[in-house]
Chain A
């Protein structure tokens, strides 16, 4: 192998005690121990998830009237939450697919958890439009199914239908991508399991993975092509979500800038959520050597980029509203900034445009406390972005007599907080049962990007034979070998 990496690059696996076995031990460890903290967290989030189910049942039983919607504002928290969750669900596939195509090695530390996050976020997202339909038992007819009314088909002109196809394809392809990557790691867990049930369970999950050269060859081929498919897919999903608004005739929604602006915003919020979760789990599961400050800094760079794109989009929107000379468009934006929802606009601007700019400074970019707080800020800001777009555009429409204000009811709040609990519940189950870091992929970068390998190469570089790590070389890299 002649993989070469500049010695100026920071290691992605730190700690001088690392070897292949040590990597396996460290990364499988979270699935092997019981912790009281985990049980408490699971029970709390599980209770929240049950409350989510309760609020949805309440909605179905008594109808959408239990939400704070009125005849002017027909889309509010529900669609805000939907777009918010879909946006969060964008980082996983971005990290695993786009960073794979760009050969960014830092993805190996975070891709697994980010993909899991994608799947759970899309599950949460899907709930909102489904329950907003009202009669959930008829939800199947969003798909073009044969029926006895003609048959009357769905409207293939409608962006709402495109969204159905986009989100469901995105969910199932992300699931395939995630699970095919998990199989080899389940086999690793299986082969070190002691108990009979555990062995059976992880063999079941691994689909009987062996790790033969041919399997790996097909594995590499599959992940590359899936990444190639998922990259345009992930961009298409949020583009189509933005069409839900952009193809309408509501001032404030009817904006051609929406597709790139929504995609950038989705990546922005997705990375922030990955950071929030990874900062907690690296501490909780002792994964600091695999999710290093270097990983966090790389993500922060993407956050400052996408945050700036979003900021430019906000300003462009304002400019175009003025420049269009169209009275209703101008009013919609004047109202957005200075109207009755000015506070939501201010939160959005602060959290999405102002605070991420701190990341231009390296000490702040590498500070974990700052990162944690700012990642939560981004999530708040991105929720308000969707709220501002959806609600302020509807609240003061063409007819002043129907102007209205939206106030959420306890059901709205319960469903939103409940969906966060459901998300955390699923993530906690995942972090206990599945290897949260892609073990095989981390091992594959061990010889190029670990601290051990870098130290080894540095030592070699000073030696009379030069910097090449030759075939005869067997050194501290192989601590556990018999040499």
Chain B
């Protein structure tokens, strides 16, 4: 999605009032462009109508890959590529494979999921995020509205709506 140049930012200072405000604002049919909070607010994704994250599915798939890689690699080295007799133990000691298979499952799953998380969240060293308001990592809960090509009377309505719903501050911001 294209980032808007002109935005209206509403700031709240209490998460309960904020959650309630989102419900009211969305009920009015107003589109919320972005929502920023200093910590994970319980129930926020529900009031915003976000669907569940599918990260856990990715984690499961990476874990499956790790399990298959570990089991098949150990089987290949010990039965096909270079079978060795270790003190009369079987060439395919499946019980001995359990610890390493488990560790590889965890390793693949954790790394795969974390990398997916970084890519999806656009997080990488050197990424410069657009900062709507510095206090959103401190004590303010923000709602950002796209104000590009919105009539000024509509914007005034929006600002009033935010204030009515308990915002402590509403401001406009222009990015280029």
Tally of A-B Cβ pairs under 8 angstroms: 211
Contacts of A232 in B (CB 8 A): 102, 106
Contacts of B34 in A (CB 8 A): 212-213
**Chain A minimum-CB-distance residue to B134:** A191
**Chain B minimum-CB-distance residue to A205:** B125
Q: Is B130 part of the binding interface, using a Cβ–Cβ cutoff of 8 Å?
A: yes
Q: Is B7 part of the binding interface, using a Cβ–Cβ cutoff of 8 Å?
A: no
Q: Is A103 part of the binding interface, using a Cβ–Cβ cutoff of 8 Å?
A: no
- Knowing A156-B77, A204-B126, A236-B102, say if A440 contacts B39 (CB, 8 Å): yes
Q: Is A447 part of the binding interface, using a Cβ–Cβ cutoff of 8 Å?
A: yes
Interface string of A418-455 (1 = CB under 8 A from B): 00000000000000000000001101100100000000
Q: Is B29 part of the binding interface, using a Cβ–Cβ cutoff of 8 Å?
A: no
Contacts of A161 in B (CB 8 A): 100
Chain B interface category by residue count: 35 or more
Asked whether A144 lies within 8 Å of B77 as measured between CB atoms, the reply is yes
Contacts of B157 in A (CB 8 A): none
Asked whether A478 lies within 8 Å of B78 as measured between CB atoms, the reply is no
Asked whether B113 lies within 8 Å of A225 as measured between CB atoms, the reply is yes
Contact with A209, one of B35, B78, B129, B135 (Cβ below 8 angstroms): B129
Contact with B103, one of A165, A474, A480 (Cβ below 8 angstroms): A165
Contacts of B104 in A (CB 8 A): 165, 169
Interface residues of A in 131-166 (CB under 8 A from B): 144, 150-153, 155-157, 159, 161-162, 165-166
Contacts of A440 in B (CB 8 A): 38-40
- Knowing A155-B86, A208-B129, A240-B99, say if A218 contacts B53 (CB, 8 Å): yes
Q: Is A334 part of the binding interface, using a Cβ–Cβ cutoff of 8 Å?
A: no
Q: Is B123 part of the binding interface, using a Cβ–Cβ cutoff of 8 Å?
A: yes
Q: Is B153 part of the binding interface, using a Cβ–Cβ cutoff of 8 Å?
A: no
Asked whether A474 lies within 8 Å of B14 as measured between CB atoms, the reply is yes
Q: Is B173 part of the binding interface, using a Cβ–Cβ cutoff of 8 Å?
A: no
Contacts of B17 in A (CB 8 A): 471, 474
Asked whether B19 lies within 8 Å of A1 as measured between CB atoms, the reply is yes
- Give CA–CA (A225, B41) in the complex, Å: 18
Contacts of A217 in B (CB 8 A): 40, 44-45, 50, 53
Asked whether A20 lies within 8 Å of B96 as measured between CB atoms, the reply is no
Contact with B113, one of A24, A166, A226, A447 (Cβ below 8 angstroms): A226
Q: Could you say which of A180-188, A278-286, A325-333, A355-363 contacts chain B? A: A180-188
Interface residues of A in 469-483 (CB under 8 A from B): 469, 471, 474, 477-478, 480-483
Asked whether A207 lies within 8 Å of B123 as measured between CB atoms, the reply is yes
- Give CA–CA (A208, B121) in the complex, Å: 10
- Give CA–CA (A112, B128) in the complex, Å: 25
**Distance in Å: Cβ of A452 to nearest Cβ of chain B:** 13
Q: Is A233 part of the binding interface, using a Cβ–Cβ cutoff of 8 Å?
A: yes
Interface residues of A in 175-223 (CB under 8 A from B): 176-177, 180, 183-184, 187-188, 190-192, 203-205, 207-222
**Distance in Å: Cβ of A224 to nearest Cβ of chain B:** 8
Contacts of A155 in B (CB 8 A): 84, 86
Contacts of B55 in A (CB 8 A): 218, 221-222, 225
**Distance in Å: Cβ of A131 to nearest Cβ of chain B:** 23
- Knowing A169-B103, A208-B129, A471-B16, say if A144 contacts B96 (CB, 8 Å): no
Contacts of B107 in A (CB 8 A): 169, 172-173
Contacts of A292 in B (CB 8 A): none
- Give CA–CA (A239, B29) in the complex, Å: 56
Asked whether A165 lies within 8 Å of B45 as measured between CB atoms, the reply is no
Q: Is B37 part of the binding interface, using a Cβ–Cβ cutoff of 8 Å?
A: yes
Q: Is A19 part of the binding interface, using a Cβ–Cβ cutoff of 8 Å?
A: yes
Contacts of B77 in A (CB 8 A): 144, 153, 156
Interface string of B103-117 (1 = CB under 8 A from A): 110110111011001
Asked whether A225 lies within 8 Å of B59 as measured between CB atoms, the reply is yes
- Give CA–CA (A19, B15) in the complex, Å: 13
Q: Is A3 part of the binding interface, using a Cβ–Cβ cutoff of 8 Å?
A: yes
- Knowing A156-B77, A156-B78, A441-B39, say if A218 contacts B117 (CB, 8 Å): yes
Taking A159-B99, A218-B55 as given, write out 7 further A-B residue pairs in contact, using a Cβ cutoff of 8 Å, ordered by the A residue number.
A1-B41, A155-B84, A165-B100, A173-B107, A208-B127, A210-B131, A211-B36
| 9 A–B contacts, CB within 8 A, in A order | A151-B82, A153-B77, A162-B103, A165-B100, A187-B137, A191-B135, A207-B123, A216-B40, A232-B102
On B, residues with C-beta under 8 Å from A are 13-17, 19-20, 34-45, 48, 50, 53, 55-56, 59, 63, 73-74, 77-78, 81-82, 84, 86, 89, 93, 96-97, 99-100, 102-104, 106-107, 109-111, 113-114, 117-118, 120-131, 134-139, 166, 168-169
Q: Which are the 5 A-B pairs with shortest beta-carbon distances?
A: A208-B127, A20-B139, A207-B123, A440-B39, A213-B35
